[in-house]
Chain A
Amino acid sequence: MTAVDLLAGAADTDRSAPLARANPVAKLAVSLAVSVALLLTVDVVTAGVALLLELACLPWCGLPARSLLRRSWIVLVAAVPAGVVTAWLGVDSGASLLALGPVTVTEGSVTAGAAITLRVLAIGLPGVVLLATTDPTDLADALAQLLHLPHRFVLAALAATRLVGVLAEEWQMLSLARRARGLGDDGWTGRLRTACGQVFALLVLSIRRATTLATAMEARGFGVTSQRTWARRSEFAAFDALVVLGGVGLAALATAAGLAAGTWDLLLS
């Protein structure tokens, strides 16, 4: 699954599912609430409960499990090493399970490692769902109309996002061109140098493209005044408020579970 497909919101998501139809700002608020709640503590129960609750909400998001797996592979792949590193090198407590030089695995550090892994997954999941079910244009409309972020920045960022596909194709052409010029078979350092040169070329071409795009946007009246109408209205309805409450509730529930289990430990003391 290429970066372009990820951003375009590929056809495997059901956009009419309840949570998918929610206003992007509501989905953003849910991601925010969950990540704040989980960043405040590192414990297995909170992270685990949060993850379970998120997975339980999945059917309402219109995202089939298989496409979820495809989209979050990097989250999955990375969650494990983070946990493993903590298990090996983290603060030790409880019975020792393994000791090999600096690597000391104890009950305490294994628990901490599991907590970190679950936490990574629990924080990463809402972001993946957010991306999969939200159209970038709708997100930009919501940010500008509801959160009143400066419209010039929001729309310019949106226009730049559209260029992602174009830039991906440019990158392919740049790679082919380098092969055609005889570059790219040098071994480690040679490849790195070629890659850096390629990033440079991409930057130059992108900046050129950006200045032309800016001219085109200004020619259509962009950026002259802040008085602007919106062709697509973004509205925050009662349903969206419900979604936000649901997200806050999820975070609260996970925290409560952690408190009840006695494992919750505020990182601020």
Chain B
Amino acid sequence: MPTTRKLYGTRLRALSILTAVVLTGGFALAAFYAPIEADQGFSQKIFYLHVPLAIVSLCGFIFGGICAIQYLRTNDPRHDLRAYTAIHQSLIFCAAALVTGSIWAKAAWGQWWVWDEPTLVSFLIVFLLYATYQPLRFSIEDPEKQSRYAAVFAIVAGAFVPLNFLAVRLANPLIHPRVLNSSGGSLPVDMKAAFYACLIGMALLFVTLWKYEMTAKHNRAQLRSLKRKLGGPDAAAIRGRSAAPRVSAS
């Protein structure tokens, strides 16, 4: 069968190699080049993992919200798939940010969880909110309706994120200095370089994983439609239920 349709797996190898190089380089910079922080010592190094994870996952949620707006405007299921994959993956990054944040809190303040660290608390709330995305999709049978309602949810949740950060931030006095404040950051240059390398690496990791997931979903849909063509509608029955949007192979 000629592949006239758009291929999803293009340039995946180059992207993967680039991601591996930048991420390894960033972590190497963080480990060996960036100076040891005076107050917290070596445990502060988790900052180079935790903050990029957090920033990338928030950006992923926003990207999901934008895809959801696109879906509502165009009714094109591909946008829904993009939003679904982005939000699903951001949720995993968000969980990782929570775990690393918790470890950092243990190292810095001696407790696994501190309620007066507003960013961490906001993250927990955002995580809990987005964790309902899957159950919501799961409990709506009709695929078209599922996509539409999930899109509305993604947009509402996207608007919720900044409001939530504002409310939680106001509710707590700040106990540690902001890493990136509005005046462009208070980090020394060598720390900043390592941090941005890690941030770019993490963003690349997100994009790479996202593309892999999209490719896998499209390949699976193509495979299923080919199986159907060969063996009739029963040949490629969907095993189990998934909340993922169904992609038509065409």
**Do A and B bind?**
no
A residues in contact (CB < 8 Å) with B: none
B residues lining the A interface (CB < 8 Å) = none
